[in-house]
Amino acid sequence: MKKFLPFLLLAFLSGYALLLSGCDNEEKIEYLNYDEYPLPERAQLEGEDEQPIIINDIEEFQRIFSAYPELEAINFETHTLLVIKGTAHYGIDKIKKEITRVANKKTRFKITVLLTLQTVMDPWCIAYILPKSNANDITLSVSYE
């Protein structure tokens, strides 16, 4: 019985862990069709920091990017441009992204700005071309580490 008890305990804990992992409301998605959209270095754009800027038409694109007429055109009939910007209170080492699909079919962008020890105000801006979306389809969280 002493040999059987650890096996039974291990089987129970494995089943419990499997059950808990099946209750997750999110699943990582690797298949979301998106491309990074190249922006000019140190681009200064209007809009709120750490809020998704969702562009679905050429007029909005031209308004936001009026200072950058050389930017590539986007087919807004089939695509959306998602712009995210912010200001770090330290230097920026790298910007990481994680994309997950939430149970209600929203796409969540989790942006993590990795910082250096330099004490500078460092603005940042990134953009992604997504399949046609609206503001209700996208959630965003930004953190600084």
User: Where along the chain do its domains lie?
Assistant: 25-144
Rounded CA-CA distance 110/97 in Å is: 6
In contact, 61 and 115? CB cutoff 8 Å: no
Give the closest residue to 41 by CA, choosing from 127, 111, 121, 114.
Answer: 127
pLDDT in tens, the chain (145 residues): 555 455 444 444 454 444 444 444 445 554 566 789 999 887 888 889 999 999 999 999 999 998 998 998 899 999 999 999 999 999 999 999 888 777 667 788 899 999 999 888 889 999 999 888 888 888 899 999 9
Rounded CA-CA distance 17/127 in Å is: 37
Long-range CB contact pairs, 10-15, < 8 A, 24+:
none
- pLDDT of the residue at 27: 54
User: Cβ-count burial of 85 within 10 angstroms (0-12 exposed, 13-18 middle, 19+ buried)?
Assistant: buried
- pLDDT of the residue at 100: 78
Q: Are strands 107-115 and 53-55 parallel, antiparallel or unpaired?
A: unpaired
- pLDDT of the residue at 136: 86
DSSP assigned state of 52: -
Give the closest residue to 36 by CA, choosing from 124, 110, 97.
Answer: 97
Other Cβ atoms closer than 10 A to 81: 22
pLDDT digits (tens, 9 = 90+) for 32-70: 667 899 998 878 888 899 999 999 999 999 999 989 989
What's the Cα-to-Cα distance from 100 to each of 3, 6, 30, rounded to whole Å? 43, 37, 8
**The whole model's pTM is what?**
0.73
